Structure 1
Amino acid sequence: MKNPILPLFCLLLIHCSKSDGVVQHEAKADLMEVLQEDKNIPSENEPPPPPPPSQEQKRENSSKRSDTISKKIIKNGDMRIQVGDIKKSQGQVNEILKKNKAYIQTENFRNSDVDENLDLTIRVPHKSFDALINSLSSGMGSVLSKNISSEDVTEEYTDVSIKLANKKIYLEKYRDLLKGASTTKDMLEIQEKIRGLEDEIDVAEGKLRFIDDRVNYSTLNLSLYKEKVRSSTTSQIGFGSRFGDSITQGWNSFISFILGLISFWPFFLTIPLIIFLWRKWKGRRKK
């Protein structure tokens, strides 16, 4: 009969190794739970940070990104047109603006001896910008200069929109944390965070409104120019005007010469006095 001690000893070793493995596994699990609890305990000096956005919020944020990404093109233009009559041309411009649903933002008129200038800053819907340019280019007068530019601000607009959406999410998280704040210090720090986020959100929303305004309404700087030239159709009028100008210019030159001489009156008084004193001194020397 074989000795049964050896099989029993093997079974005992196997049972001990299994029990040790279970104990070690339980100890590791307890240690992980303790570390996880330590990580979740907020610091006494800092307010608890807001939890990260949930999966639903991330999906909403990504959908907002896809909706925000659309072409944002800003169109601007400068035109200078030489016309025969400023008032008549201004009336034509007003009719063209009404047809294209545009309006005048600023108006500046200058009248000099040489020319007349009417400078207009026009805001026109983005879709009607090209039609407005074509209408002003034909039938108004001689186009002296025209400059049209386009600026793509899609990337800038999208970046601001994404940051704005994220700031709004964190703002709601901080507001939830404020409701559960336990100490006055945490409440004050969380309120300061909320005020900072609200200011940043206002700035971002203002920037988006500004970009939308420039995209939806294009800007055109229009200058109507009229040169004042003397008519040469009748030589009599041209000669008379030039003759009158010559007399006026000669008289002005004569007055300028007299006034120039008068400005030297100190020298006219000083020179005779110097000559008199010099002669008197010379006569004494001869005696």
Structure 2
Amino acid sequence: MNKTYAAIILLAVLLLLGGCGAPKQGAAPVASEKSYENGAVAGAGSESFSTVANDADGQAPVERKVTRKASLVMAVSNVTESYNQIQVIVNESGGYLQNADIHSADGQMRSTLTLRVPAAKLEEILSALEPLGKVEGKNISGQDVTEEYYDATARKANLERQEKRLLELYNKAGTVKDILEIENELTRVRGEIESLQARLNVLDNLISLATITVELRAPGGISTGSTLKEPLGTRLKAAWQMGVNGLVNFSEGLLLLGVVLLPYTPFLAAAYLLFYYIVRKRRLKSKDSPTDRGAV
């Protein structure tokens, strides 16, 4: 009986030990999973911090400052009409006509226009101008002034801080000598500030408004190719105009030559008279020679 009780007690102890041991073995994977999750969160947090640190340490992207220019050379059927159409296109785009010139050269009407248009609309405006005639030349260029712009901005800010400090010293100055020295320095600093501000204003204008130079010419003169496709009356008119222009140019050349030679007129006249006198004297001698020989 004692052996039976002992066996029962031993079995109970073994079952108890087995039940307690099972949970301990199952808890280990749970702890590992929690440890992994904590590690993953920690890793994610480190990555996020690294990204924020990089953004904080990195410099903000710099806005590029670029001035843009373009030029167009076009042959148009009517220079005056195209000139007016260009004005309308530029005004509607928010730009303006800076310079314009219309003249006649070698029987051809020509015009040169300088346009200032919003830089963001440069390509759009060029596309609107090109259908006005035959494009014979086109160029688009840009100049990066970013370094100059931000350098001038930084120098201006430093000078403004220097101006502020000088004003504080000026208010605390106790002698006339100190006041005069500070005033001279203030004058110099303010002059540099104004100069830098003027340059920044110019750059802002060049950056915000692109410059377009347009050269227009009307077909004229006698030539081969596309010009011969024009009506006969137009070509005859152009030929007549060329002849008239040639005569005018020849007359002007003679007039200019006369003006150039005018100061030399006395010397030329004296040389002519001397030459005439020598030639006449020789002729008289040649006529008298046979008579003198006959008398001898």
Describe the superposition over 1:66-95 as per-residue Cα deviations: whole angstroms up to 9, x where unpaired: 899422110011111000111221232123
**Counterpart selection for 2:153 from 161, 185, 196:** 161
Equivalent-residue separation in structure 1 for 2:111 and 2:121 (angstroms): 22
Counterpart residue number, 1:282? 289
Equivalent-residue separation in structure 2 for 1:67 and 1:193 (angstroms): 35
Using a 3 Å threshold, how does the CA distance of structure 1 residues 67 and 181 change in structure 2: closer, same or farther?
A: farther
2:64 matched to 1:71?
A: yes
Describe the superposition over 1:172-217 as per-residue Cα deviations: whole angstroms up to 9, x where unpaired: 1011011111222111111111110010000010000010011111
State the shift of 1:114 in Å.
2.4
Counterpart residue number, 1:104? 97
Asked if the contact 1:121/1:222 (under 8 Å) is kept, the reply is yes
State the shift of 1:285 in Å.
6.2
Using a 3 Å threshold, how does the CA distance of structure 1 residues 181 and 67 change in structure 2: closer, same or farther?
A: farther
Counterpart residue number, 1:148? 140
Equivalent-residue separation in structure 2 for 1:178 and 1:113 (angstroms): 68
Q: Please tell me whether Structure 1 or Structure 2 has the larger radius of gyration of its CA atoms.
A: 2
Using a 3 Å threshold, how does the CA distance of structure 1 residues 89 and 105 change in structure 2: closer, same or farther?
A: same
2:190 matched to 1:198?
A: yes
State the shift of 1:265 in Å.
7.2
State the shift of 1:147 in Å.
1.2
**2:132 partner amino acid:** M
Secondary structure at the counterpart of residue 132 of structure 2: coil
Structure 1 residue runs without a partner (length 5+): 1-65
Equivalent-residue separation in structure 2 for 1:128 and 1:93 (angstroms): 15
Counterpart residue number, 1:183? 175
**2:77 partner amino acid:** G
Q: Structure 1 residues 160-169 or 99-108, which shifts more? A: 99-108
Using a 3 Å threshold, how does the CA distance of structure 1 residues 238 and 171 change in structure 2: closer, same or farther?
A: closer
So what's the TM-score if we normalise by structure 2? 0.61
Structure 2 residue runs without a partner (length 5+): 1-58, 223-227, 259-268
Equivalent-residue separation in structure 2 for 1:203 and 1:141 (angstroms): 43
Q: In the TM superposition, what are the counterparts of 1:238-249 in structure 2 within 5 Å?
A: 238=236
So what's the TM-score if we normalise by structure 1? 0.62
State the shift of 1:277 in Å.
3.2
Overall identity of the aligned pairs, in % = 23
Counterpart residue number, 1:86? 79
State the shift of 1:145 in Å.
0.8
Asked if the contact 1:124/1:219 (under 8 Å) is kept, the reply is yes
State the shift of 1:269 in Å.
4.3
Counterpart residue number, 1:174? 166
Describe the superposition over 1:117-149 as per-residue Cα deviations: whole angstroms up to 9, x where unpaired: 111010001111111111112x21111111111
Secondary structure at the counterpart of residue 97 of structure 2: strand
State the shift of 1:166 in Å.
0.6
Higher fraction of helix: 2
**1:182 partner amino acid:** G
Equivalent-residue separation in structure 2 for 1:205 and 1:67 (angstroms): 24
Equivalent-residue separation in structure 2 for 1:227 and 1:184 (angstroms): 75
State the shift of 1:238 in Å.
4.8
**Counterpart selection for 1:135 from 124, 128, 131:** 128
Q: In the TM superposition, what are the counterparts of 1:198-277 in structure 2 within 5 Å?
A: 198-229=190-221, 233-234=231-232, 238=236, 269-270=276-277, 273-277=280-284
Instruction: Name the Cα RMSD after superposition.
Output: 3.6
**Counterpart selection for 1:114 from 107, 115, 121:** 107
Asked if the contact 1:69/1:158 (under 8 Å) is kept, the reply is no
Equivalent-residue separation in structure 1 for 2:95 and 2:86 (angstroms): 10
Describe the superposition over 1:228-282 as per-residue Cα deviations: whole angstroms up to 9, x where unpaired: 23677559x959x77xx69x97xx99xx9xx9xxx99758944651333322563
